[in-house]
């Protein structure tokens, strides 16, 4: 797939300093790019590499222009411009295969949909036009998927789930799985609670590989417009995630927690159930959230990294904090007297 630098400049709204007619066939890093590829730079630490690059053009900010010896695509936000351009070249790598060997129920509405081999499409399924379903996907009964979405191979979308327009679901993801709800019997054995709610996903949502989103117990699990979810994330039953929130890998969100808009949640964060987190909250990686967050800001909930011996010393103090506090109270009382 070829595109000229002039066309790229229009695509990413850049000011081109150089030859508009040069044809570009792909994207690459500054150090590896060749004359028919585009790269980008965002930080000063890469300026030495920028000065030596053999790329056909580089996307960059005006302040880095003097270090660029090749064609320059000047933008205010190079990372955003690169993100937009990356989707143009991604089209060339998209894999899809016809409906050969797919099992599609006759009640399904799948006109102008690309369905790859090995898929199973259930009853009363509705899939919007220009959506692509990768190989070996299972789309159960009564599922609704909007237009221009891409469901990659080996995804399972369980019954009654709803996905909006322009969603991307990566391989191995499971949408609408049974939630983790159990009640104790008198003999202390477990009685599973059936989950009769569903998962409702808005427009322009991205869900990473092997992420699982459980259906609601009675009400629905909701993922609102523009949400970005990384690989290996678990979202439990009845969780609600607000618009344009981003969640990094290996995060676990327990049931019935509500997360606001535009939040950023780092990798391996654990969020306890039945909490409320307001809009515009950032939670740093590996933090544990065990209480409501009612004010926007940046939150961290872990001890700083230290040697094991250092942690052992801290641990000794931690288990004695109650005794230390009692002792200090007595001394404070004595001082007051």
pLDDT value, residue 332: 55
Q: Give the pLDDT confidence score for residue 313 in this predicted structure.
A: 87
Of the candidate ranges 208-217, 250-259, 291-300, 318-327, the one whose mean pLDDT is the lowest = 318-327
Q: Does pTM surpass 0.85?
A: no
Once rounded to an integer, what is the mean pLDDT over residues 11-25? 95
Q: Tell me the domain boundaries of the chain.
A: 3-93, 155-299, 307-337
The three-state secondary structure class of 326 is helix
Mean pLDDT, residues 129-144: 95
Asked if residues 153 and 137 have their Cβ atoms less than 8 Å apart, the reply is yes
> How far is residue 133's CA from residue 5's CA, in Å, rounded to a whole number?
32
pLDDT tens column, 161-199: 999 999 999 999 999 999 999 888 999 999 988 899 999
- Pick the residue with more confidence: 14 or 318? 14
User: Which among 156, 165, 134 is positioned nearest to 211, based on CA atoms?
Assistant: 156
Which class is 3-93 in CATH? alpha beta
Query: What confidence score (pLDDT) does residue 337 get?
Result: 52
> What are the pLDDT digits (tens) for 261-275?
999 999 999 999 999
Query: In the prediction, which pLDDT does 326 show?
Result: 79
Three-state helix/strand/coil letters over 143-174: CEECCCCEECCCCEECCCCEECCCCEECCCCE
Band of residue 333 on the pLDDT scale cut at 50, 70, 90: low
237 is an active site residue: yes
Q: Which of 67, 158, 224, 237 is catalytic?
A: 237
Mean pLDDT of the chain: 91
% of the chain exceeding 70 in pLDDT: 94
Q: Is the pLDDT of residue 310 over 60?
A: yes
Query: How far apart are the C-alpha atoms of 97 and 110, rounded to whole Å?
Result: 15
The three-state secondary structure class of 314 is: helix
pLDDT digits (tens, 9 = 90+) for 66-93: 999 999 999 999 999 999 998 888 764 4
Q: What is the pLDDT of residue 302?
A: 77
Judge whether residue 305 has pLDDT over 90: no
pLDDT of 94 above 70: no
pLDDT at 19 over 90: yes
Neighbouring-strand partners of residue 23: 4
- Judged by average pLDDT, the poorest of 91-100, 215-224, 288-297 is 91-100
Higher model confidence: residue 98 or residue 241?
Answer: 241
Q: What percentage of the chain carries pLDDT values higher than 90?
A: 77
Q: Which of 197, 198, 121, 203 is nearest to 163 (CA)?
A: 203
Query: Is 151 a residue whose pLDDT tops 90?
Result: yes
CATH of 155-299, one of 2.160.10.10, 3.40.50.10490, 1.20.1560.10, 3.20.20.150: 2.160.10.10
Q: Residue 92 has what pLDDT?
A: 47
pLDDT score, position 100: 58
What is the full DSSP assignment across 264-312?
Answer: EE-TT-EE-TT-EE-SSEEE-TT-EE-S-B-S-EEE--SPPP--HHHHH
**Dihedral sign, Cα of residue 30, residue 35, residue 38, residue 43:** positive
């Amino acid at each position: 797939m070829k595109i000229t630098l002039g066309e790229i400049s229009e695509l990413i709204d850049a000011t081109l300093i150089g030859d508009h007619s040069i044809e570009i066939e792909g994207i690459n890093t500054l150090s590896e790019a060749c004359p028919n590829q585009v790269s980008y730079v965002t930080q000063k630490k890469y300026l030495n590499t920028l000065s030596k690059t053999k790329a056909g053009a580089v996307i960059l900010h005006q302040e880095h222009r003097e270090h660029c010896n090749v064609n320059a695509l000047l933008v205010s936000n190079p990372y955003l411009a690169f993100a937009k351009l990356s989707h143009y070249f991604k089209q060339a790598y998209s894999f899809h295969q016809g409906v050969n060997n797919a099992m599609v129920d006759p009640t399904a509405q799948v006109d102008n949909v690309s369905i790859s081999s090995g898929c199973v499409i259930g009853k009363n399924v509705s899939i919007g036009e220009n959506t692509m379903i990768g190989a070996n996907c299972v789309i159960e009964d009564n599922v609704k998927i909007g237009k221009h979405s891409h469901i990659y191979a080996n995804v399972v979308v369980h019954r009654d789930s709803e996905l909006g327009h322009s969603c991307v679901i990566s391989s191995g993801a499971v949408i609408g799985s049974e939630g983790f709800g159990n009640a104790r019997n008198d003999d202390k054995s477990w009685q599973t609670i059936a989950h009769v709610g569903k998962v409702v996903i808005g427009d322009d949502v991205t869900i990473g590989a092997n992420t699982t989103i459980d259906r609601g117990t009675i009400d629905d699990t909701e993922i609102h417009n523009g949400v970005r979810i990384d690989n290996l994330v678990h979202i439990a039953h009845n969780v609600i995630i607000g618009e344009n929130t981003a969640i990094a890998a290996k995060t676990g969100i327990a049931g019935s927690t509500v997360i606001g808009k535009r939040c950023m949640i780092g990798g391996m964060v654990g969020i306890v159930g039945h909490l409320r987190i307001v809009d515009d909250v950032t939670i740093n990686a590996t933090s544990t959230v065990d209480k409501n967050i009612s004010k926007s800001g940046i939150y961290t909930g872990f001890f700083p990294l230290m040697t094991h011996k250092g942690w052992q010393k801290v641990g000794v103090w931690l288990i004695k904090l109650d005794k230390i506090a009692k002792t200090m109270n007595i001394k404070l009382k004595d001082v007051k007297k």
